[in-house]
Structures are given as C-alpha cells and as structure tokens.
Amino acid sequence: MDDRRVGWHTGAVASSRSIGFAKGHGTENDFVIIADPEGELKLSDDDVAFICDRRAGIGADGVLRVVRSQYVPDWGGDQDLWFMDYRNHDGSTAEMCGNGVRVFARYLIENGLADGPMINIATRDGVKPTEALGDGRYRVAMGPVIVDQPEVAVQPAGLEMPLPARAADVGNPHAVSFVDDLEKLDLRTAPTWSPVLRFPDGVNLEFVRRIGPRHIAMRVFERGSGETRSCGTGTCAAAAAAAVEAGQTERPVSYRVDVPGGTVEVELHDHQSYLTGPAVIIATGELILPG
C-alpha cells in the first residue's frame, strides 16, 4: 500500500502530530476521515473534539478512522476487513453511523483500498455490506430495526408538554416522536427524556412529520453531536416507527425520508433494512493536532 495515497504520514505523527485527512458528507452529515491502516494513531476525546470544532478545527459531526479490523482489539470477525472506527463530535464512541458508512465506502473506493461495487465494512454493530450504485449513491444493509411501544417521553426545549416516543434499536439507540410542525422545535439545547434509565448511555432523538404515504420528514438531535443535518440510523428508526404507527405490516416497504441535508430512501424487510443515499468527498489536506 502506498501510504501517501491514504494520507497517512507515520513519521510526522510521531514528531509533530501532523496527519492527513479527507472531508466528506452524506446528506450534509459531515465527517473527517483519517487513514490509520495499522492502528497506530491514538486519538483522545479532546483530539476528536478539536478536529470536529467548526471554528478551531476542521469542523464535522464526527470522525471516521480507517483501520484494518485486525488492529481493533474487540473485533472478533474477519481480520481483513476495513473497520470504521466512528467517533462522535465530542469524542465519544458510537456503534454505527449510516451516513458515515456510505462516506467510508466512497473513501475506500476512491483511494484504491477497495474495488467495489460491493464492500463489507466492519463496524461495532457488525459487518455492513455496502453497494456503490454508480450514480454517487450507496446502499447499505443496516440490519434489523426493532421498534418498541411508546414508553418514552421526550421533552424538547420550549414545549410545555413532553412528546411520546417509540424506542427503536438500529444497532444504536433511538427514540422517535411524531410532530405536526418540525420548524417550531428548538433543538439548540439537548432535549431530555424519561425514564432516564431507559437509555443509560444516551440516545439519538428523532422528530418526524408525516408528509404522505411512505413519505416523512425528520430532524434529529444526535447524542454526542447535537442537531445534525442528517442521521442515517435515525432515518431507519424513523421509517420503521412510521410504519408501525401507520399499521403497515407488509414487507418489504420503502420510505422516502427528507432531512435538512437532503433525501434518502429506507427499505424495510422482515429481518433487514437498507439505507440508500449520496456520499461525497469534498476535500483532502493536512491537519496539525495541538500538543
């Protein structure tokens, strides 16, 4: 492998903490991508927060570290896969990121690290088969979506009464609430939920408006990041919760999901879901970490 192709500078990291990076997004859910093939780079929570800072750093919703799975201590699967080590804006670790997987797949193909069109990508939520469709869109097998009864109450700022929410598991935790007007929501501060112990490690909060048959719009407050322009796992959670609310039991069924950053398609099958949407690489460069 040519280290220069993936922006990894081993000697530079040791002396000046200088690393190559790429910047990409999926429906404006944006990421800094850092190649670390042999797992040599140790990013602290503060490092990630600095990288993601939109004034002092590059700016992003999260960091995607590109590492061979054999160098991920807790990975017990195929040792030859590329592992997507995803970190939230605040440095915390997340199990999965649907928009991130698409951007990750595009990065692998554009840097000659994978041939495509089918790529198996390792994540903390297992292997995510991803297909490059050839038109700038990528289709990711996200796994099953499990939706529970509305046992959660979510309280956004500015609303007098909490909103009922359906808990949904897409390999990471979500709570989906349905509203009539998305624009009235104040998501500048973190909504709260109860019972708090329902999500002891935090939760992604989706707010959904029905537009038409199998067509919804969504805003999201992501744990560790705040409001983002899109959330891939969140769109799957929202579509699955909307199907339950509508009494749609037939499978497969597809939903169009509009987010502030664009539009994606979610396909719900009996034991699988698929997320299809764009992925874009917009820049490459050199980053100097503080310290």
131/163 same-domain check: no
pLDDT of residue 150: 77
From the list 35, 84, 97, 279, the catalytic residue is 97
Mean pLDDT of 147-162: 92
**Domain range holding 237?**
146-271
Residues above pLDDT 70, as percent of the chain? 95
In the predicted structure, residue 6 carries a pLDDT above the cut 80 = no
**In angstroms, rounded to a whole number, what is the distance separating the alpha carbons of residues 238 and 217?**
9
8/132 same-domain check: yes
Query: Which backbone phi and psi does 202 adopt, to 5 degrees?
Result: 90, 170
pLDDT tens, position by position, 99-151: 999 999 999 999 999 998 999 999 999 999 999 999 999 999 999 999 988 78
Give the residue ranges of the annotated binding site for substrate.
29, 88, 98-99, 172, 204, 222-223, 232-233
How does residue 16 score in pLDDT terms, banded at 50, 70 and 90? low
Average pLDDT value over all residues in the chain = 93
63/184 same-domain check: no
Helix intervals (H) in the chain = 10-16, 45-52, 98-110, 232-245
**In angstroms, rounded to a whole number, what is the distance separating the alpha carbons of residues 265 and 286?**
34
Give the CATH number, domain containing residue 22. Answer: 3.10.310.10
Those residues with Cβ within 8 angstroms of residue 165's Cβ, 6 or more apart along the chain or in another chain: 150, 152, 153, 154, 175, 176, 177, 193, 205
* Structural domains of the chain, count: 2
For 270, other C-beta atoms within 10 Å of its C-beta total 7
Those residues with Cβ within 8 angstroms of residue 185's Cβ, 6 or more apart along the chain or in another chain: 156, 158, 159, 179, 207, 219
123/30 same-domain check: yes
From the list 231, 268, 275, 279, the catalytic residue is 231
65/162 same-domain check: no
**Residue 231 among the catalytic residues:** yes
pLDDT of residue 291: 78
In the predicted structure, residue 82 carries a pLDDT above the cut 70 = yes
pTM summary value: 0.92
Residues above pLDDT 90, as percent of the chain? 91
**In angstroms, rounded to a whole number, what is the distance separating the alpha carbons of residues 118 and 133?**
9
How does residue 34 score in pLDDT terms, banded at 50, 70 and 90? very high
In the predicted structure, residue 8 carries a pLDDT above the cut 70 = no
